[in-house]
Structure 1
Amino acid sequence: MISITTSNNKKVYFASDQHLGAPTPETSFPREKKFVSWLDEIKEDAEAIFLLGDLFDFWFEYKTVVPKGFVRVLGKLAEIKDSGIPIYFFVGNHDLWMNDYFEKELNIPVYHKPQEFIINNKKFLIGHGDGLGPEDKGYKRMKKVFTFPFFKWLFRWLHPDLGVKLGQYMSVKNKMISGDEDAKFLGEENEWLVQYCKKKLTENHYDYFVFGHRHLPLEINLSAKSKYVNLGDWIQYFTYGEFDETFKLLKH
């Protein structure tokens, strides 16, 4: 378990669901610039940065090829990491085919499932959030297929011009991108991530559960000493998390 202690008025930052490339590279370009400007701001007092998935609307790593574009955000992440600020990346359902590109090129660790961290003596469980909790069985089955090594091997045989175009088309078809129908608060009893967090609390104590995926900024007290936070998105809300002694959900 990684432990982080902030010093000299520094903070830990969290962001999720930028979906760069959706619905087209041209229309997402202003979002990329806005996100890069946020990274420029927080690098001045960041102790660490957590990116909780779906940074890209589609991402697939061939052995020698990655999707073109996104040079501004990739360059900024490289600059920040090279300056000595740790960055932790969690894959989402739109960039779940991320392999080792971030680790080799940017020296940024990549996580494929929720991880525990200790930040300023507070226990966090952090992840993207897709496929957790009860129900959503169709997506869980689909994810098993998409992450199965044979399926990835088969997709890799598609020429990148065809494979990336097909992947981008399928990603944009996902209705979560629109930020409307699914991005509505359903009530605690119907929020699968809330149910997941409550179940985890019966096994271990966590001060904070921090997830993305829902495209909806949420702060829900699970108990007197435990809180669930959903970071929202950078399509409609442009929200992010900030933590030093307490967790704040803020808007850029």
Structure 2
Amino acid sequence: MQLAEGKKIYFLSDFHLGAPDHASSLVREKKIVRFLDSISHDAAMILIVGDLFDFWYEYKSVVPKGYVRLLGKLAWLTDNGIPVHFFVGNHDMWMNGYFEKELGIPVYFEEKDYEINGKKFLVGHGDGLGPGDRGYKFIKKVFRNPVCQWFFGILHPTMGIGLANFLSRRSRAATGQTDEKFLGEDNEWLIIYCKEILQKKNYDYFVFGHRHLPLDVKLEGGSRYINLGDWLRYNTYAIFDGNELTLKTYEP
């Protein structure tokens, strides 16, 4: 992909709409819509790198209610020729065609390569990558299993969504403040993962979410690891102008 003059690529992640309650989620949703409005004039492509929702499950004929402002804005962007790509996160991995059919947004379940203006990117949500976290990696396999998804789907939406929201709150309480601290290059699993990948293939940029902490870490060979932070605390995103990828904060 070659960017036209004045056009940019935007990366953002971890909105967690729905958390911790409807009122605060709605404020955050309106802010995100304003941000998308502000970039629509120069966006060549927008990549949402997971956990747009705190929970999302597509039943056969039902999706979770709410989020109409954001979903409408995403539809407006794609209707006006601005490609939007979505990478599922650990909170919204249960996608099953709604985004593709209703919004015209391709959905990716694994990391994806991009080459833009000669720069090579590896993009993904980041959950389950790198060493450690074996418990989550096992749970992820269970959640991704079609049979397990089918069993969840036969629950009434009130029960299924209620159970998912309860488990999400418990997970957040168990995590506590660990997402707010940089653990050092030797202990950050995604940095370790990036270094392992660089032994096999060169990338200019690794762009991930999931970590909830804005990070810009230099790696060997001039490569960089960018973590996009979140919109719960930081309102951060990354922008590629054709030459350089920069981590920024939205301050309306």
Same structural fold, with TM-score higher than 0.5 when normalized by the shorter chain: yes
Q: Is the 8 A contact 1:6 1:120 kept in 2?
A: yes
Quote the offset at 1:167 in angstroms.
1.1
Question: What is the number of residues matched between the two proteins?
Answer: 249
SS, match of residue 189 in structure 1: coil
Give ranges in structure 1 of 5+ residues lacking alignment: none
Q: What is the one-letter code of the residue matched to 1:49? A: I
CA deviation map 1:124-165 (0-9, x unaligned): 000000000000000000101111111101000101111111
Counting aligned pairs with the same residue, the percent is: 57
Q: Deviations over 1:95-139 (max 9, x none)?
A: 011121101111100000100001111000000000000000000
Residues 1:247 and 2:242 are matched in the alignment: no
2:133 counterpart of 1:127: no
Shift in alpha-carbon separation, 1:142–1:25, aligned structure 2, 3 A? same
Match of 1:164 in 2: 161
**Distance in 2 between residues matched to 1:96 and 1:39, nearest whole Å:** 23
Contact 1:175-1:182 within 8 A present in 2 as well: no
The offset of 1:176, in angstroms, is 7.5
Cα distance between partner residues in 2 of 1:178 and 1:106: 33
Shift of 1:178: 7.5
SS of alignment partner, residue 219 of structure 2: strand
Aligned to 1:9, which of 6, 9, 12?
6
What is aligned with 1:211? 208
- Which stretch shows the higher mean deviation, 136-145 or 217-226? 217-226
Quote the Cα distance in structure 2 between the aligned partners of 1:33 and 1:218: 25
Say whether 1:150 aligns with 2:113.
no
Task: Choose from 108, 122, 130 the match for 1:111.
Answer: 108
Give the aligned partner of residue 192 of structure 1.
189
Q: Deviations over 1:173-200 (max 9, x none)?
A: 2228977223310000000000000000
CA distance in 1, matches of 2:45, 2:136: 31
Q: How high is the TM-score relative to the length of structure 2?
A: 0.96
Note closer, same or farther for the CA distance 1:177–1:132 as it changes in structure 2 (3 Å cut). Answer: same
Match status 1:68 vs 2:38: no
Matched, 1:25 2:45: no
C-alpha displacement of 1:224: 3.6
- Equivalent in the alignment of 1:175: 172
Aligned-partner Cα distance in 1 for 2:177–2:2: 37
Q: Aligned to 2:178, what secondary structure does the other structure show?
A: coil
For residues 176 and 88 of structure 1, the distance between their equivalents in structure 2, rounded to whole angstroms, comes to 30
Give a deviation string over 1:2-42, Cα, whole Å, max 9, x none: xx221120100000000000011222111101111000001
